[in-house]
Structure 1
Amino acid sequence: MEEGRRGDREAKSAAGWTALSTTKTTLEEKRRLQANGSVGGDAGTSGFRRIVRLFFACMVAGGIQYGWALQLSLLSPYSQTLGISHSYVSLTWICGPIAGFVVQPIVGYYSDRCTMKMGRRRPFILVGCLIICISVMIIGFSADIGRHLGDTKEHCSTYTGPRWSAAMVYIVGFWFLDFANNTVQGPARAMMADLSAGHHGPNVGQSIFSLWMAIGSVLGYLSGANGKWHEWFPWLKTAACCDACANLKGAFFTAVLLIVVSMTVTMYLADEMPLDKQDVDTSGGGGCAVFVDLFKSLRNLPPAMFKVLAVTAVTWLSWFPFIQYNTDWMGREIYHGEPQGTAAKADVYDAGVREGAMGLLFCSVALGVTSFVIPKLCRRLTSKVVWSISNFLVFALMAVMVAVGMVSMRGYRPSLAAGLTGPDPTLKAVALVVFALIGIPQAVLFSVPWAVASEVTAEEGGGQGLAIGVLNIAIVVPQLVIALTAGPIDGAFNKGNTPAFGIGGAFAFICGVLALIWLPKTRGVSNAAVVAGGH
């Protein structure tokens, strides 16, 4: 990706955030030569072989997304079995936006300046993947570790109280997992932008990245929906870890295997051009200076970018409740289970969580299919209209979830809901349809905001790196707000997940209107588009 047009000052402020730009022309020339097959031994390969190599070079994105799918579908329910109340589950997710705000800029800064022989991005991908593997094992064995640290010795099949040592171990693993995910994602996206330049172009790289995300999500949710890991591998069960916990272990063991395999393929096929030491810009003042430079350079944003940032922020306010509570909603509101209830209630809840993971699988399939249609829709309708329609669709689906939850729980009246066990077939079918359909606007969420930001800055002469850096702020700040408020709001209303979904639906409607009014008319055809994805 070419550096910004407003000079070295803006390029320096952007470098740490995007890990996509450098300040030396010689490096840019080498990157173009590499992309065109003149560096790295690809000069004589056909276009088909080049695209196949590029496809598998991005395989690590699928492995990371597999683990992320397990995190999304299983960890909020699992944390409640350790004693973390539903009202405080959202607080455990604070690490996500914090990691996105802190880790990605610093990693981006140093990956832009890395001079190791294996390249600029691959060292960070390697270290991040190893930390992810360690983190998921800590989470999977948190109950067993907690037992050794002083938690109850009572068998997990009869004990329903809290296990605070296990909860603390889980939180440590969860935080390391999120920080490691952000360590990998930034360099992986930047590497795809590097490798897809020249012959293929950024739109091809974006499509490949999105496709691997969809593949990883489908496999991850399928693994999370599998309730037979403890039968296939009985040794996963212990006195502290019963069926649901053992299933979590089994799913995370497969995540470690797939991450190692996908990382190895990426490390081998991603033919990065090493950065010469004389090409390194040493005037930036270190990784922490990125934050100072970023806020100083906000005044260089094109005027239309502020509206793009506002719409992006409201969009994420509408999405985070679903991302955080989707499978918990299926287990509680649809299946009428309780993570710390009686054995029967806990089993029903676990069945609902697995069904929710299956629904997220359908969501990922819809996301993957829709990702190929979005460029054509944006060219025909403009990106602002596609973005707006997607938010109105989120509003409609959130409204359905609120209504279905209220009906299923009999208006949350204790006298009527106390004896409910298991799902109503019709409501379960509606819930699965909602999960599948929400993959359509999610495909827009993962691509259109990044493309609009890139095109706006390209048309108005702004730096691409700066645009993507501040867009990251518009994503992580709303996530932090929802993480801090969603659980307490649910607790105050005492109506399960319904208040959070209602708030998300309201923000989605507001964003649909704002997108039509504020966003500029772009059609997603700029060569400045970036690889988007992640969480």
Structure 2
Amino acid sequence: MEEGRSDLKEASRLERALSAESGGGGGDSGSDSGRKKFMRLLRLFFACMVSGGIQYGWALQLSLLSPYSQTLGISHTYVSLTWICGPISGFVVQPIVGYYSDRCTMRIGRRRPFILAGCLVICISVMLIGFSADIGRRLGDTKEHCSTYTGPRWSAAIVYIAGFWFLDFANNTVQGPARAMMADISAGHHGPSVGQAIFSLWMAIGSILGYLAGANAKWHEWFPSLKTAACCDACANLKGAFFTAVALIVISMTVTMLLADEKPLYKVDVDTSSGGGWSAFGDLFKSFKNLSPAMFKVLAVTAITWLSWFPFFQYNTDWMGREIYHGDPHGKGVKADSYNAGVREGAVGLLLCSISLGVTSFLIPKLCRKLTSKVVWSISNFLVFIIMTVMVVVGMVSMKGYRPSLSATLTGSDPTLKAIALTIFALIGVPQAVLFSVPWVVASEVAAEEGGGQGLTVGVLNIAIVVPQLIIALTAGPIDGAFNKGNTPAFGIGGAFAFICAVLALFLLPKTRGISHAAVVASGH
């Protein structure tokens, strides 16, 4: 899944670091030294701009693509299957790219070749997704106008799925090297914590801008040429948002390529004793034999935590469009308009979620020191249980008495239910801040106490994240289809896992109070 974001906490660290770096002593020489440090920090800041561009695209992917895929004929039951590329790419791509980026000897550095290649593939992928309906029409899909046709468009769906997979693989190709590059180039003058703070700050900026773009319903009005016979308003809005993603990624990638002061690696310094990129998997699985019981408990609680969260990541905006706005992605007229309005409102909710996540990140270190990390983790899962239970209840209340035959008279959602739904989105950012930080802290501290390596810790914890994502991606849609209750079964299952995890966290996790640099290590998509 993409990555967890302790953004504003790290921004605060960055601000303190900036103050310390520019504080310099008295006199002209001290002032000149302070200016040089400030300029180095400023250059480091813009060298990480690519992470903001990538996160902008990920925010669009998270908020818009599940709803859009259903307009192409992919049923709600099988939407979750399109997301299996996320955990698969996170599991396969990151170790291999990490291995080869550590050993790359190109003149432009170790990380920048992978950042460049990944960004170019991302640009191609989002264009495939944005133009999938138009390409599908060229390949033989219906010639009927999109305003009247509501059936499947299988050629477009195939193009969309191909673009989706390439996008996730490319995202993972960029994120690992970009984060490693920040650790490389910040180590000399500022320290890796400042580099990771900048990385997280750019991700926060990208998330906010991306969700704003996803909530915008004016792209097709500002750029009328985006609309075609195969691509009506909602499709044109997605296309316009992805055009801005391409522009932002190209700009941010260019700035990073020019300003990153990355030193090349010489061939004589490369370790050639290992068996290549695939050997990383062998080393990773062998390491499971040596894990302590405490680390196994951390991995178990982490896995169950992600089982509770992934339904929300898959269906958040779809829930708003279906259950709250009573829309239908396969419908036309008011039904389609209501669904699209709900999806845009869901993007606004995700923006509120990002803001509350960032604000909560300030409080997590103090809470962990006061209550211990395992108590904070347990409380966050109780909150997820409560929030998902409320989502199930609100969805059922919204749909109670609703008649599809009366949908032509609907002009929007019930204002009270809309307010409750947006509040839910805002509140879920609180436990999400814990999700994106505390598991890494607990695992890191267990590894430190028992003499384990931090790199190994990241690798095994990543498995505990991507495997549950894969399980939910394969099962959530079919379960929803079996009960024919929209998103309610998936959220109910997520709430049940959250409750189980809240109890297990209290009894299984070790007592830890610190919050370390591991809090900003990414979990991947």
TM-score (norm 2): 0.90
User: Would you say 1:523 and 2:513 are equivalent positions?
Assistant: yes
Structure 1 counterpart of 2:168, from 142, 167, 178 = 178
Structure 1 counterpart of 2:372, from 367, 378, 382 = 382
Structure 1 counterpart of 2:116, from 126, 129, 132 = 126
Q: Give 2:222's aligned amino acid.
A: W
Which residue does 2:336 correspond to in 1? 346
Report the CA distance shift for 1:112/1:439 in structure 2 as closer, same or farther (over 3 A).
same
Structure 2 counterpart of 1:241, from 213, 231, 238 = 231
State the 1:361 CA deviation. Answer: 0.8
User: Would you say 1:472 and 2:462 are equivalent positions?
Assistant: yes
Report the CA distance shift for 1:155/1:525 in structure 2 as closer, same or farther (over 3 A).
closer
Report the CA distance shift for 1:43/1:106 in structure 2 as closer, same or farther (over 3 A).
farther
- After superposition, what is the alpha-carbon deviation per residue over 1:162-208, rounded to whole angstroms, capped at 9, x for unaligned? 10000000000000001001111111222223334365444434433
Q: Could you tell me whether the CA contact under 8 Å between 2:360 and 2:433 is conserved in 1?
A: yes
Report the CA distance shift for 1:320/1:435 in structure 2 as closer, same or farther (over 3 A).
same
Which residue does 1:403 correspond to in 2? 393
User: Would you say 1:281 and 2:271 are equivalent positions?
Assistant: yes
User: Would you say 1:303 and 2:303 are equivalent positions?
Assistant: no
Structure 2 counterpart of 1:317, from 281, 299, 307 = 307
Which shows bigger deviation, 55-64 or 352-361? 55-64
State the 1:376 CA deviation. Answer: 2.8
* Counterpart-to-counterpart distance in 2, 1:400 and 1:305: 33
Which residue does 1:359 correspond to in 2? 349
* Counterpart-to-counterpart distance in 1, 2:99 and 2:187: 20
Structure 2 counterpart of 1:447, from 437, 441, 444 = 437
Q: Give 1:394's aligned amino acid.
A: V
Which residue does 1:31 correspond to in 2? none
* Counterpart-to-counterpart distance in 2, 1:396 and 1:202: 37
* SS of aligned partner of 1:469: helix
Which shows bigger deviation, 188-197 or 440-449? 188-197
Report the CA distance shift for 1:268/1:385 in structure 2 as closer, same or farther (over 3 A).
farther
Which shows bigger deviation, 453-462 or 154-163? 453-462
Q: Could you tell me whether the CA contact under 8 Å between 1:106 and 1:288 is conserved in 2?
A: yes
- Residue pairs, 1:322-337, within 5 angstroms: 322-337=312-327
Q: Could you tell me whether the CA contact under 8 Å between 1:383 and 1:452 is conserved in 2?
A: yes
Report the CA distance shift for 1:325/1:525 in structure 2 as closer, same or farther (over 3 A).
closer
Q: Could you tell me whether the CA contact under 8 Å between 1:223 and 1:251 is conserved in 2?
A: yes
Q: Could you tell me whether the CA contact under 8 Å between 1:209 and 1:531 is conserved in 2?
A: no
State the 1:404 CA deviation. Answer: 0.4
* Counterpart-to-counterpart distance in 2, 1:296 and 1:269: 39
- After superposition, what is the alpha-carbon deviation per residue over 1:319-348, rounded to whole angstroms, capped at 9, x for unaligned? 100000000000000000001113210011
* Counterpart-to-counterpart distance in 1, 2:72 and 2:462: 32
State the 1:525 CA deviation. Answer: 4.1
Q: Could you tell me whether the CA contact under 8 Å between 2:81 and 2:473 is conserved in 1?
A: yes
Instruction: Please give the root-mean-square deviation of Cα atoms over the aligned residues, in Å.
Output: 2.2
State the 1:298 CA deviation. Answer: 1.7
Q: Could you tell me whether the CA contact under 8 Å between 1:210 and 1:368 is conserved in 2?
A: no
* SS of aligned partner of 1:94: helix
Report the CA distance shift for 1:528/1:224 in structure 2 as closer, same or farther (over 3 A).
closer
5+ long unaligned stretches in structure 2: 1-20, 22-31
User: Would you say 1:436 and 2:426 are equivalent positions?
Assistant: yes
* SS of aligned partner of 1:167: helix
Q: Could you tell me whether the CA contact under 8 Å between 1:125 and 1:187 is conserved in 2?
A: yes
* Counterpart-to-counterpart distance in 2, 1:183 and 1:402: 36
State the 1:294 CA deviation. Answer: 1.2
Q: Could you tell me whether the CA contact under 8 Å between 2:438 and 2:519 is conserved in 1?
A: no
Q: Give 2:428's aligned amino acid.
A: I
* Counterpart-to-counterpart distance in 2, 1:114 and 1:131: 19
Which residue does 1:86 correspond to in 2? 76
User: Would you say 1:163 and 2:143 are equivalent positions?
Assistant: no
Report the CA distance shift for 1:473/1:276 in structure 2 as closer, same or farther (over 3 A).
same
State the 1:353 CA deviation. Answer: 0.5
Which shows bigger deviation, 358-367 or 186-195? 186-195
Report the CA distance shift for 1:480/1:380 in structure 2 as closer, same or farther (over 3 A).
same
* Counterpart-to-counterpart distance in 1, 2:132 and 2:152: 13
* SS of aligned partner of 1:274: coil
Q: Could you tell me whether the CA contact under 8 Å between 1:318 and 1:503 is conserved in 2?
A: yes
State the 1:70 CA deviation. Answer: 0.5
Which residue does 1:144 correspond to in 2? 134
- After superposition, what is the alpha-carbon deviation per residue over 1:402-438, rounded to whole angstroms, capped at 9, x for unaligned? 1100000007887999976631100000000111111
Which residue does 1:272 correspond to in 2? 262
State the 1:269 CA deviation. Answer: 2.5
* Counterpart-to-counterpart distance in 2, 1:523 and 1:199: 29
Structure 1 counterpart of 2:67, from 51, 60, 77 = 77
State the 1:57 CA deviation. Answer: 2.3
Q: Could you tell me whether the CA contact under 8 Å between 2:200 and 2:520 is conserved in 1?
A: no
State the 1:251 CA deviation. Answer: 0.1
Which residue does 2:384 correspond to in 1? 394
Which residue does 1:17 correspond to in 2? none
Q: Could you tell me whether the CA contact under 8 Å between 2:142 and 2:153 is conserved in 1?
A: yes
* Counterpart-to-counterpart distance in 2, 1:527 and 1:240: 48
Q: Could you tell me whether the CA contact under 8 Å between 1:65 and 1:534 is conserved in 2?
A: no
Q: Could you tell me whether the CA contact under 8 Å between 1:99 and 1:178 is conserved in 2?
A: yes
Q: Could you tell me whether the CA contact under 8 Å between 1:458 and 1:528 is conserved in 2?
A: no
| Paired positions, count | 495
5+ long unaligned stretches in structure 1: 1-35, 37-41
* Counterpart-to-counterpart distance in 2, 1:372 and 1:71: 27
* SS of aligned partner of 1:93: helix
Report the CA distance shift for 1:258/1:239 in structure 2 as closer, same or farther (over 3 A).
same
